[in-house]
Structure 1
Amino acid sequence: MGAMLSNENNDDYLQDSSYSEDEENSTNEAPHRRISPIYDKIDLTNNICLDSPTDTTDAAPPTATMATTLTVDQVMVVEDHLDIFEKVSLVYLLYDNPAVALKLLTKLVNGSNDKLIHNWTIFQNIKKSKWQEELEEALYIIQNYEVLRMLGFAKTDLDVKFPPHFCFDKIYVNKIRKVLYRLCDAFDSTDGENLLRLVHTDFQKKGFNFTVYNPEYLELYLLHWESLGYIKQDNLSNLCNILNVMEQLDWCDVLKQLFPAVGTRVSEKTKTSTLFSFQSSQSTQISVDKNANYDTIEKYDVDPKSPGVCLIINQEYFYREIEPDLQRKRSARFLVELAPAPTAQKMQLLNRSQERSG
């Protein structure tokens, strides 16, 4: 994925004891992960691939422009052309059982030569008949066009089969895995470190054991969190809380659109959350050190029954804007949404409507 985290960080939850400096400097050093350019074209604020905000029905597979004819032997040859990052990403996208995938990937990043993709195709070939399409989609997700071309697929045909919004639909690859892969692939090193730091803190508060892996492979963390139930197929509220703190608001909106239950669970937990209690205005408290030095002359006594006045200026029209399409039309709604907070603090609420000027 996109987060390339430094092993020089002193935080213990960002260190991987199995990842040695000698391994990093060896001649078999893995190439840096590529950032997938296709996702930069996606507007995360639009109604992505859903007909309505509550639509969770998976999309039907698109009409293929070519036949998918792959053999198990072809996959074995192709796997030799994948770098370590691509193998990790493919296992994350393809393996259904998170605990099994995590165990196998842990061995892989520590030097195992297991043919994980080839083994997956053998099992899937016995289990079901759609493994070729699933592997094709997974290779397209990680943007390995070279391997796809080796297998006889043209990028122009693949672009038709998998339109830009496909990464948020269930075609063949698990939709949640696909979205979380996309999310982490978009993170830079700072975002990745913040994600791990916040989840580590949340784990401590929830009583989970935070296992450390090589931070260059965020897929291992996602699989671990999924195997513990911190991330669930029908509940991403824990992750959405973390993204809120990280101010990744567009991604929070994406999760809420794709999985409407996320928004409900997050709003229900906000009032009692210990990690994110600051999101509730009624639960916020300021702790003052009794030994702190301050000038009592400057002290201002606050009457808890009447702590102050909150003035909301309802400016519906802006001074320089005369175009009807650009005028602000939601201020009345904002006023309704803002009013409960100061009222709950027993503040006097004043509303002043700003008429059009100029």
Structure 2
Amino acid sequence: KWLRDVYILECRLCLREVFEEVECSGNNDGLVSDAHGLPEIGSLNHMGAVSPQLTRDEVIKHLEDLEYYEKVSLAFLVCDEINYILQQLLTAERARCLGSVTPVPILSEWLRCQRHGSWENKIVEALSIIQNYQVLEQLGYDAESVKTRFLPRSPETSLFVNCMRKAIYHMCESLDKKKLVELTRRVKNDYDKLYKGEALEVYDEEFMEINILNWSIKGYINLGDRNGRGVDIHKLKTVLKGMDELTVLDNLESSEKATVNASVGYRDLETSSTVSETSMSSRSSIMGSLSTRSERSLVSQHSVASAASQVRKPQHWREYDVDPHYVGCCLIINQKNFYQDQNLQYKHVLPDEELETRLGTDMDRERLIETFESMGFDTITKEDLTHSEMLDSVNEVLRDDFKQEHSCFVLCIMSHGVKGEVYGSNSVPVSEEDLKEVIRNNRKLRGKPKILIIQACQGKAHQDVLSHDDISSDGPEIRGVSADFITFWSTVPGYASFRHEIQGTWFIQALCRIFLGERFTDNVVTLFTQVNGDVSCQRTVIRGACKTMVSQFQSTLVGELNLPLRSEKQLDVSLRMFQRHMFIALLWQYIESRKIAAEKRRKLKLEQLLDNLM
């Protein structure tokens, strides 16, 4: 009773700490939706220019050959999601400072996530802004035509790159090292005064864009949202004015006005049309697909404001309705213990070796219950089901527990697996497609989002750190078209998934940490992308080699799915979380005390044995 009173008191006093410090400690940044700050406007072909057919592999090869400072600048210009790109740059910066021979890929992952037709223009414009015309010519572009089209030196002009980022890049280029150091010092002093008790980190001024992104993350400035709105550089302008950098200040103000005009024009369009949202595969972003009505006008005016006024948003975008009283139903199948089915008809599908007990999976089960109940889901758990019982259980839950009023269905399976399949407790595999077929056939789920989360290996290999080509080239086979589905595997095909025998799996830990942590969005696709980033940052050493893993999701959602945390549910969940963590802490203390006692008994027996021998 005393311990329970302590739990309740702690939960009521420290609800935020329970979520953020106990369960969600660590780095929450990740790959996130990386949409353009302003509308996408077709392709270079639509602007009357001869556009080479770019391939991702070709562009990645050229980008990886760039100088480090060029990679930093290019990433700053093209990657709209600040949390993601700052994480990538800081990782690369740490590796550089440690003298790493193998450079950290900065743009490769971002580029692989982009929809075809959405990234080519950004890359070309950004390369013109940093004045690397050699790479542009190697890609088949005429340097003079690119200059004429994009006007890379103009502060108020930008077609595909965020106009404010372009202006800030030029600010960094125009100030010498001494002035950049002075600017950083003044901003830090101003920030430390405004936010007492929190010191602003300072990074190498040679790569000033990293400092700029950090200022934005900290809230000192705002580079604007994906639609070019919300730009706020007032404090930065005040510092520049104090440094008497009036020319730089004028350029920033010109760019700021262009961005404001663009965001106003874009906002006006929203009253008569809606955004298009396209579902993407693993580590993908959601990008609006917009068309132009007058490309010639767009080229001649060369302004972000005019670009925004030329686009019309398609009308098939929507957001899934989520009833806060009937958020959804979540079925969790936890496969811990296994045996080999003796039925001869299954002999050919049984694994070569007996499947081991999945220690640590109970921790994952509890985390998933806490996570989905915090979002208002009704959760149902099933333990150690055979392959046929797995399919039957999904059918039963959809028939008996999933109500017509429910907005969403989630199926979580934790088991051993091979590529595209998970094992039942009888060591007989069930394919992902069979599971999806059962869900697809339920009439109550028509038009509603369906989430399939699978924690299982898809092979035996371990992923080497930085082997991005191997990881990204072996995507899972899509065997059918099914709308409103999103499938999330703990690892890519052909590779193993890591599991701690007490703490649970990397994947489920990351998933729950991101969903229960301090969110900047409730968008499920964005949160899943963050999970990818979190998982891919983890490391372990196997036989002297550093290994990692990469989770992967595929989406056929036709709208935006938002699943916010429900405050009325969080108190009960936080109580259980606190109890669980207290239990683990006490268990570890008990284990340590038993080990110490056993060691004392061993020494005592040894001493007695020696005394007898004497």
Q: TM-score range by the shorter chain?
A: 0.5 to 0.7
Q: How does 1:79-90 map to 2 (within 5 A)?
A: 79-90=63-74
Which residue of structure 2 aligns with residue 107 of structure 1?
91
- 1:162 is matched with 150
Per the alignment, residue 211 of structure 1 pairs with 201
Give 1:153's aligned residue.
141
Match of 2:82 among 98, 118, 124: 98
Distance 1:262 1:200 in 2: 26
How many residues align structurally?
205
Give the alignment of 1:33-44 within 5 angstroms: none
Within the alignment, does 1:220 sit opposite 2:217 as a pair? no
> Structure 1: how far apart are the matches of 2:41 and 2:80?
20
TM-score normalized with structure 2 length: 0.31
Measured in 1, the distance between the counterparts of 2:235 and 2:113 equals: 33
Say if 2:66 is the partner of 1:66.
Answer: no
CA shift in 2, pair 1:64/1:217, >3 Å: farther
Question: Residues 20-40 of structure 1: CA distance to partner in whole angstroms, max 9, x if unpaired?
Answer: xxxxxxxxxxxxxxxxxxxxx
Counterparts of 1:167-206 in structure 2 under 5 Å?
Answer: 167-206=155-194
Specify which of 247, 251, 255 is matched with residue 248 of structure 2. 251
Deviation at 1:215, TM superposition (A): 2.3
Describe the shift of the 1:196–1:60 C-alpha distance in structure 2 as closer, same or farther (beyond 3 A): same
In 2, distance between residues paired with 1:143 and 1:259? 22
Q: CA deviation at 1:166?
A: 4.2
Q: 1:261 to 1:231 in 2, by over 3 A?
A: farther
Q: How does 1:1-358 map to 2 (within 5 A)?
A: 63-111=47-95, 113-125=103-115, 129-163=117-151, 166-207=154-195, 208-232=198-222, 233=224, 234-260=231-257
**Deviations 1:262-312 (Å, cap 9, x if unpaired)?**
99xxxxxxxxxxxxxxxxxxxxxxxxxxxxxxxxxxxxxxxxxxxxxxxxx
- How big is the shift at 1:229? 1.6
Question: Deviations 1:141-174 (Å, cap 9, x if unpaired)?
Answer: 1111111111011112112212255443231011
The question of whether the paired residues in 2 share the 8 Å contact of 1:124 and 1:131 is answered with yes
Mapped partners of 2:258, 2:157: distance in 1: 17
Is the 2:155–2:255 Cα contact (8 Å) retained in structure 1? no
Q: What are the Cα deviations for residues 90-139 of structure 1, in whole angstroms up to 9, with x where unaligned?
A: 111111111211111011122263322222111113xx622101001111
- Using the alignment, how far apart are the partners of 1:76 and 1:59 within structure 2? 21
CA–CA distance in 1 between the matches of 2:154 and 2:258? 21
How far, CA to CA, are the matches of 1:144 and 1:256 in structure 2?
Answer: 26
Indicate how the Cα distance of structure 1 residues 64 and 89 shifts in structure 2: closer, same or farther if over 3 A, else same: farther
Alpha-carbon offset, residue 251 of structure 1: 2.2
Contact kept in structure 2, 1:59 and 1:170, CA below 8 Å: no
Contact 1:78/1:147 (8 A) holds in 2: yes
Question: Is the contact made by 1:169 and 1:175 (CA closer than 8 Å) also made in structure 2?
Answer: yes
What CA distance in whole angstroms lies between the structure 1 residues aligned with 2:181 and 2:91? 23
Query: Could you tell me which residue of structure 1 aligns to residue 345 of structure 2?
Result: none
- Go from structure 1 to structure 2 and tell me whether the alpha carbon gap of 1:257 and 1:147 turns closer, same or farther (over 3 Å shift): closer
Distance in 1 (alpha carbons) for counterparts of 2:249 and 2:259: 9
Q: C-alpha distance in 1, partners of 2:118/2:215?
A: 28
- Report the alpha carbon displacement of residue 76 of structure 1 after superposing the two structures with TM: 2.2
SS of the equivalent of 2:83 reads: helix
Tell me the amino acid that sits aligned with residue 119 of structure 2.
W
Structure-1 separation of matches of 2:258 and 2:104: 38
Output the TM-score relative to the length of structure 1: 0.53
The residue type paired with residue 63 of structure 2 is E
RCO greater where, 1 or 2, for CA within 8 Å and sep 6 or more?
Answer: 1
Higher strand share: 2
2 CA distance for matches of 1:257 and 1:76?
Answer: 33
Please, which runs of 5 or more residues in structure 1 have no aligned partner? 1-56, 264-358
SS in 1 for 2:66: coil
Q: State the 1:74 CA deviation.
A: 0.5
SS in 1 for 2:175: coil
Provide, for residues 316-342 of structure 1, a one-character-per-residue CA deviation record: whole Å limited to 9, x for no partner: xxxxxxxxxxxxxxxxxxxxxxxxxxx
Alpha-carbon shift at residue 212 of structure 1 (Å): 2.2
Quote the Cα distance in structure 2 between the aligned partners of 1:179 and 1:85. 17
Aligned equivalents of 1:173, 1:254: Cα separation in 2: 16
Q: Secondary structure at the match of 2:74?
A: helix
Shift of 1:89: 0.7
Q: Which amino acid aligns with 2:204?
A: N
Three-state SS of the structure 2 residue aligned to 1:216 is helix
- Counterpart residue identity of residue 222, structure 1: I
Distance 2:50 2:64 in 1: 25
Is the CA contact 1:68–1:132 (under 8 Å) kept in the aligned structure 2? Answer: no
For residues 142 and 186 of structure 2, the distance between their equivalents in structure 1, rounded to whole angstroms, comes to 42
Letter of the 2:113 partner, please give it.
Answer: F
Give the whole-Å Cα distance in 2 for the aligned partners of 1:58 and 1:143. Answer: 24
SS at match of 1:211: coil
Contact kept, 8 Å, 1:243 with 1:249, in 2: the verdict is: yes
In the alignment, the residues of structure 2 paired with residue 171 and residue 179 of structure 1 have an alpha-carbon distance, to the nearest angstrom, of 13
